[in-house]
């Protein structure tokens, strides 16, 4: 009987932990009326510390039910034994309240992530058009990329390019307060339309920017997702180096071993902000 009660209490605790988790989010801040992209948190708490600016986020794409999703957090749910977080990252913007300051993202303003270019793939020497393959971004916690939803964006070879918006910012960030965030999912479309169609192995590049409807708030600098799917040896490091960013601006998630190897490979890069390309 005691064993049964113990197991029930453990399951309840694990379930509560899973329920309170929110998954991978990029911390963003309003710095002197400009949006700044910072470190990617694999999970909450998103507002415990102000993280350093980041411009490149390196993460794998992993298959789930035949769909290849970006996967910055590979945690497994202890109850279902399924992936705890199907994809990500989204945006976390609550640090303005955590540090005791005024609300930096105005109530009723809308934060959006815009696609700035078509999807690219590394050919061994440079990034080129990914061909038929596109990438779909969609909002919310639903793991099913095929679910009809108006809140999505798809890459295209020519502009104008899509964008994806969060819900309007609430006063004092509503019930979530300093932990406020909005989740996004990202999935490859091998034929440009179907999430279960075949797509090539390699290193993909996505160029993005965060903007806001808030008057006087400038958008972020462009930032990049580098998405790896069974790349050839050396391709991932070469692809990252080609972007020309200093190593402190590059974040690799989720594997610690991969991060260490890439940090060693990137150590030769200058520790200064890159020049305009």
- Which class for 208: exposed (0-12), middle (13-18), buried (19 or more C-beta within 10 A)? buried
Are 181 and 22 a contacting pair, CB within 8 Å? yes
pLDDT score, position 98: 86
90-92 and 25-30 beta bridge pairing: parallel
Model confidence pTM above 0.75: yes
pLDDT score, position 220: 98
pLDDT score, position 77: 87
Are 226 and 240 a contacting pair, CB within 8 Å? yes
Cα separation of 188 and 198, whole Å?
Answer: 9
Per-residue pLDDT tens listing for the chain (277 residues): 554 444 344 344 334 334 446 899 999 999 999 999 999 999 999 999 999 999 999 999 999 989 999 999 999 888 988 889 989 999 999 999 987 778 999 999 999 999 999 999 999 999 999 999 999 999 865 556 666 666 899 999 999 999 999 999 999 999 999 999 999 999 999 999 999 999 999 999 999 999 999 999 999 999 999 999 999 999 999 999 999 999 999 999 986 545 445 555 555 555 444 443 3
The dihedrals phi and psi of 32, each to the nearest 5 degrees, come to: 55, 45
pLDDT score, position 80: 86
Convert 69-93 into a string of H (helix), E (strand) and C (coil): EECCCCCECCCCCCECCCCCCEEEC
Cα separation of 152 and 145, whole Å?
Answer: 10
Alpha carbon 260 to its chain's center: 20
Q: Where are the domains positioned within the chain?
A: 22-266
Cα separation of 99 and 90, whole Å?
Answer: 21
The dihedrals phi and psi of 18, each to the nearest 5 degrees, come to: -65, -40
pLDDT score, position 270: 53
Alpha carbon 236 to its chain's center: 18
């Amino acid at each position: 009987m005691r064993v049964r009660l113990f197991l029930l209490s453990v399951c309840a605790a694990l379930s509560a932990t899973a329920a309170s988790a929110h998954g991978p989010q990029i911390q963003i801040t309003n710095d002197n009326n400009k949006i700044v992209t910072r470190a990617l948190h694999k999970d909450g708490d998103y507002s415990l510390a102000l993280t350093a600016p980041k411009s490149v986020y390196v993460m794998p794409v992993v298959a789930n039910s035949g769909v290849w999703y970006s996967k910055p957090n590979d945690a497994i749910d202890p109850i279902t034994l399924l992936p705890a977080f199907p994809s990500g990252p989204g945006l976390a913007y609550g640090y303005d309240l955590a540090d005791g300051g005024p609300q930096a993202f105005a109530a009723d303003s809308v934060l959006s992530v815009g696609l700035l270019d078509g999807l690219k793939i590394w050919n061994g020497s440079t990034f080129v058009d990914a061909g038929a393959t596109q990438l779909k971004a969609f909002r919310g916690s639903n793991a099913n990329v095929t679910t009809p939803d108006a809140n999505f964006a798809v890459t295209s070879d020519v502009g104008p390019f899509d964008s994806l918006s969060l819900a309007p910012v609430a006063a004092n960030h509503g019930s979530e307060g300093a932990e406020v965030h909005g989740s996004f999912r990202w999935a490859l479309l091998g034929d440009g339309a179907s999430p279960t169609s075949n797509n090539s192995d390699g290193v993909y590049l996505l160029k993005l920017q965060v903007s806001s409807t808030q008057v006087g708030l400038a958008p972020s600098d462009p930032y990049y997702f580098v998405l790896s799917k069974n790349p050839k040896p050396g391709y991932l490091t070469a692809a990252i180096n080609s972007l020309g960013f200093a190593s402190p601006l590059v974040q690799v998630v989720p594997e610690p071993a991969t991060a260490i190897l890439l940090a060693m490979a990137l150590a030769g890069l200058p520790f200064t902000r890159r020049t305009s390309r």
